[in-house]
Amino acid sequence: MAEHRPSLDADSLGDVEFTHRWYRRFLEALQEAGYQFTSFTDSLGAGDLLLRHDVDLSIDAALTMAQIEAELDITSTYFVLVSSALYNPFERSHSEALAEIEALGHEIGLHFSTHRYWPADEPPAAEAIEIRVAAEQAMLETVCSPVETVSFHRPPSWVLNRTFSGFRSTYESRVFDEIGYVADSTQRWRHEPPDVDSFPETAQVLTHPGLWAAVDADFDERVTQAIRDACTHSERATRQEFGTETTTGEST
């Protein structure tokens, strides 16, 4: 059985707040415990920690998180959902933000939604998944340099602990079942705080940047704010594009 790393000082973290301040302290605690932040493309050893972000709600929030990590000399991987209803990675300001995340030393990968193509209860053949993933990776390659690792969005059970040809998955056994796995999905850390005292010697930590901000707010509020921000962004960019005024009833 693998030996555990020295325990993190969980008490010093207090109750989980979905603030950048708490997130920074969490990362510092992991660093103090001796973890090395590594990449999905590297082989894993004792004390390695894979830090992953699924960009479900906001590329701007991802950039802010990427800056915090860079200040701590930490690198991670940001997985981008090209089928998002909330952002368009090909839109100029968003592709520039992705370039900035890469320039900070982080990696970018594809966040792939099977739901976009197949019902959750109708698993397709592996080859069909591989074809769709390759097509979306090629799209993402037009704005950044994605790694071959792919993260599935709201993963159906039939992608877990499975390997594919042509790409690695963040849910394959090597980086999911066989090591510690800690995720902040839907802000579950409020009632199930990350069990940092029992982190195994190798772990994957998943956070969703859009769930974190300067001031704490619950999951519903974060989603509502992400929708508002996306609408504001779309309006501003569209009005700039077509030179229209904000007054209703006018058009060009």
Catalog residues that contact Zn ion under the rule CB under 5 A: 54, 56, 153
CB of 55 to Zn ion, least distance (A): 8
d(CA 59, CA 32): 29
Please name the residue that has the structure tokens 């020295």. 6
Give the rounded distance of the alpha carbon of 13 from its chain centre. Answer: 22
CB of 152 to Zn ion, least distance (A): 8
Q: What are phi and psi of 156, to 5 degrees?
A: -70, 160
Tell me which residue has its CB nearest to Zn ion: 153
CB of 179 to Zn ion, least distance (A): 20
Looking at the DSSP bridge assignments, the partners of residue 204 are 50, 181
d(CA 63, CA 49): 21
CB of 197 to Zn ion, least distance (A): 28
Please state at what angle helix 59-71 crosses helix 20-32, rounded to 10 degrees. 40
